[in-house]
A and B are shown apart, each in its own frame.
Chain A
Amino acid sequence: MSQSPAPVPFIDALRDAADLRLPGSGLAWLDAARRENLEAFIAAGLPDTRAEAWKYTALRALGQRRFALGDAQATGHLVDPHALALPGIDGPRLVFVNGVFRADLSRLETLSQGLTLQPLSKVLQNDPEPLRFALSRHYREAGDAFARLNAALAGDGVVLRVAPGARIGKPVHLCFVGTPAQGDVAWHVRNVIEVGEGAELNLVEHHLATASHKHLGTLVSDIVVHDGAKLHHALLQNAGEESTLIRRGSVHLGAKAQAMMHVLEIGGTLVRHDLHAELRGDGARFDTRGVFVLRGRQHIDTQLSIRHQALNTASESIWRGVADERARGVFRGAIVVAEGADGSDASLNNKNLLLSPLAEIDTKPELEIYADEVKAAHGATVGQLDERALFYLRSRGLPRAEARALLTAAFCRAVFTALPNETLRDHFSDALLAHLP
């Protein structure tokens, strides 16, 4: 496709991005990868709704906006560390404000044995070589636009390693804070996380804002869970209500590896969440539980894809969506069972509540099966609250709004019953309730 006739401000703002000094600039391999990804992003531009992966999420409005290339004052913003705390989470913490690492807000003194936890900016300064493979990747797929942009411009993020056999007791808290700055900022964060053989890790990823802002954040997380390792990942996305967040996580699981992910998405005005899991080793298991609750003009597009590539792998996905007011929720849940992945057991369940005549839900569960010794099933529904249940609550004296909130919360809460950290589970419930209209 040749260049579009009208200039796209979003792309236009990247014109000088190639000259940007980022952590790691000067490393020949990194410079080359960044340059190539930037060129590829600019050449392809933002995807439009004709691309299947963006069918329900139009980026035209985003294309008309101009973002500053990072926030130069990011280390200076005043952020109350208490606002970052999550109940029940008192382990190591890594904090990024507008995409930049903040040592003053982080807690890295008492790391358990076997845990390496550093900001990417520091690793790029001191010992970048081990990241060479992960960071020189070129994203070539049509749907990879933002991964390219991220690869071109990310200068910070999380580098986390758990040594083989290490069991990290206290959850690691990753905190991404958006805060108002001069103008609208685009920040890009890149996480590289590795859980060694037989190791265990608890991860809490938390997106929040200190005040309203209109930044764009992109986050790419590559997670590898080696043979026999276990990962529990809880994601609380409560980003600024006018912010845009594009998150892409990929999880690769080795033999008998297990990963469990809990996701609660309530923040942001435009959120895109891509989550790809590849079950590469025999006996691997990947479970996700997720909820999005939307109101106002929020638009959240969740794209879950799970690929069974080895024998006797299992995955179970349970997702709930609620859209009220003028919100639009998009869910795609794709399960692929590759040729030879016999004994795969995959299920996906997606239920949605549509609460307003101006809201919309688009859901698309998919199955692609290339092996025959499999059990694969998916179900999806879109509906509304049970009038009889509402009536029952109202007959007990509950005001309509309250009854509605109670039923909606109950609809979502089931998803978090398996969240191991009880205090965190309660916090998720509270955050959810607080977000209900």
Chain B
Amino acid sequence: MTIENDSPVVLRDNAEVAAALGRRYEAGFVTDIETDSLPPGLSEDIVRQLSALKGEPEWMTEWRLKAYRHWLTMPMPNWAKLNIAPIDFQAISYYASPKNKPKSLDEVDPKLLEAYDKLGVPLHERAKLAGVAVDAVFDSVSVGTTFRKELAEAGVIFCSMSEAIREHPELVQKYLGGVVPTGDNYFAALNSAVFSDGSFVFIPQGVRCPMELSTYFRINAGHTGQFERTLIIAEEGAYVSYLEGCTAPMRDENQLHAAVVELVALEKAQIKYSTVQNWYPGDEEGRGGIYNFVTKRGDCRGDDSKISWTQVETGSAITWKYPSCVLRGDRSVGEFYSVALTHHRQQADTGTKMIHIGKDTKSKIVSKGISAGRSSNSYRGQVKVEKGAEGARNYTQCDSLLIGKKCGAHTFPYMEVKNPSAIVEHEATTSKISDDQLFYCRSRGIGEEDAVSMIVDGFCKQVFRELPMEFAVEAKKLLEISLEGAVG
């Protein structure tokens, strides 16, 4: 158990706080079930085997190989403000699937369900209570999808990516890689080559998805990387709200997670994508933890379309993630709301890109960074207004909160404007929790920890407001847990 040297004496003597400091990662348990994995290593053969194991058609295998060959030619990006130990891509197993494949939820290994239980995933009955359709991804293979029938009646397709490749190849072929091309960046190329599964959502024209869709990702087996691929298509006038949550068990070594999420919004369509990311962050000394390299991009292809990203990032040893919007359609809208919290030795370099191409496009960015311990938390964002983006409008607000003297909070916004009718605004502040606020709360009899958590909650409110209710509650709780012992 470590306490920052510069914590005030008051805290050092506080047994309660000391106990909280030693609290372990709550989702850090390993489910002991047999898995069927590929041997570690990456080569064309592995890519072929992976594709064969999944029974994919020829075009998919070729698509993967093309991405793999491209990946080989690319250097690992190093522009982010991250200190990354070299990753041995040959030491990773690119496929792990539970051995006894379930036919339905009832056949799902009870241990697995138990695991979800511990995580609080509203699968099964809880799913119904919560009114959430869950596509749970457990070590790369989708184990159970609920609410399929109800969704099917509305014409919504919500299934695993493997299934989509089998059952809806025409849709997958049409859209896959259309937003994030296979060679887009190093990790996107890697993902394209070896992605194991993920979610596929298709909302047909004019349909408002009757419930919120949700996926829970979980890396379980050791030495495996998780590479999901998510594709969401909203046709003309469709609406969908998609929730994604992530956790991983506690392990000493670093695990790799490189996901790609592609969103396509056609005319007047709206996609709302919310993430709560709570991958294992590593311990106080920075041992272990997930390397989280994610490419998320939404394409507002049609006029009047809207894509909104909301993320709460509290986990992962390293976060490299920039959910973006390409505002192609006229009057399309992009939004990005983010809370990123880093503690101990976590490093996050996260932000967004808003590319204004269509006329009268609007984007709004609200980013709240909280750094504690010895962590490093950077916002990196780009707002680009292309020549033809007449009347484009952007507003960006980035606030950072520092808790402790050994952490860093950084802001790197890029604004590139090529149209004289555009208005682009950026504002950023960095500060610590004000002593006045703390004192006020303390004088009202509120304990220091609670006061800090209240203030942080207030700091993040603008983002939490954007989250679906049950997620907002979880996010708030997560933040509290992650911040325990951070006050100094």
Contacts and interface: CB of A to CB of B under 8 A. Distances in A.
Contacts of A355: 420
A364 B382 CA distance: 9
B420 A364 contact: no
A371 B387 contact: no
Given A354-B419, A356-B420, A381 B426 contact: yes
Contact of A366 (B387, B403, B412, B423): B412
B414 interface: yes
**Chain A interface extent, by class:** 35 or more
A379 B400 contact: no
A339 B404 CA distance: 11
A381 B408 contact: no
Contacts of A402: none
A362 B415 contact: yes
Contact of A379 (B403, B412, B427): B427
Contacts of A383: 422-425
B400 A369 contact: yes
A372 interface: yes
A371 B430 CA distance: 10
Interface string B434-473: 0000000000000000000000000000000000000000
A166 interface: no
B431 A368 contact: no
A382 interface: yes
A129 B402 CA distance: 47
Nearest to B376: A370
B406 interface: yes
Nearest to B419: A357
Nearest to A376: B430
A411 to B, nearest CB: 14
Interface in A370-394: 370-384
Contacts of B416: 56, 360-362
A398 to B, nearest CB: 20
B411 interface: yes
Contact of A362 (B404, B417, B429): B417
Contacts of A46: none
A375 B413 contact: no
Contact of B402 (A372, A377, A379): A372
Contacts of A89: none
Contact of B408 (A360, A363, A370, A373): A370
A45 interface: no
A372 B429 contact: no
Given A360-B418, A380-B415, A382-B422, A375 B431 contact: yes
Contacts of A384: 420-421, 423
Given A362-B414, A362-B416, A364-B412, A374 B427 contact: no
Contacts of A357: 387, 419-420
B432 A367 contact: no
B231 to A, nearest CB: 31
Interface in A243-279: none
Contact of B406 (A339, A365, A369, A379): A339
Contacts of A371: 402, 405
Contacts of B400: 367, 369
Nearest to A356: B420
A376 B429 contact: yes
Contacts, number: 110
A55 B481 CA distance: 40
Given A357-B419, A369-B400, A364 B432 contact: no
Interface in A300-350: 339-340, 342
B410 A368 contact: yes
B409 interface: yes
A52 interface: yes
A74 B408 CA distance: 51
A204 interface: no
A364 B424 CA distance: 12
Contacts of A56: 416
Contacts of B407: 370, 372
A366 B432 contact: no
Nearest to B410: A368
A359 interface: yes
B94 to A, nearest CB: 30
A365 B422 contact: no
B417 A354 contact: yes
B82 interface: no
Given A354-B422, A364-B414, A367-B411, A377 B403 contact: no
Nearest to B406: A339
B79 interface: yes
B9 to A, nearest CB: 18
A344 to B, nearest CB: 10
B405 A372 contact: yes
A378 B310 CA distance: 24
Given A372-B403, A375-B431, A361 B417 contact: yes
B409 A367 contact: yes
B417 A364 contact: no
Interface string B330-349: 00000000000000000000
B428 interface: yes
Contacts of B422: 354, 382-383
Contact of A382 (B387, B417, B429): B417
Nearest to A373: B432
B413 A360 contact: no
Contacts of B432: 372-374
A354 B403 CA distance: 39
Given A52-B79, A374-B430, A366 B410 contact: yes
Contacts of B387: 357
B373 to A, nearest CB: 12
B413 A377 contact: no
Interface in B383-415: 385, 387, 400, 402-415
Given A367-B411, A377-B429, A382-B385, 14 more contacts: A339-B405, A357-B387, A357-B419, A360-B417, A362-B416, A365-B413, A366-B411, A371-B405, A372-B403, A374-B431, A378-B426, A379-B425, A381-B423, A382-B417
Top 9 nearest A-B pairs (CB, nearest first) are A372-B402, A367-B411, A372-B432, A376-B430, A382-B417, A382-B424, A377-B429, A354-B420, A383-B423
9 contacts: A362-B417, A364-B412, A368-B408, A369-B410, A378-B411, A378-B428, A380-B424, A380-B425, A382-B385
Interface of A: 52, 56, 339-340, 342, 352, 354-357, 359-384
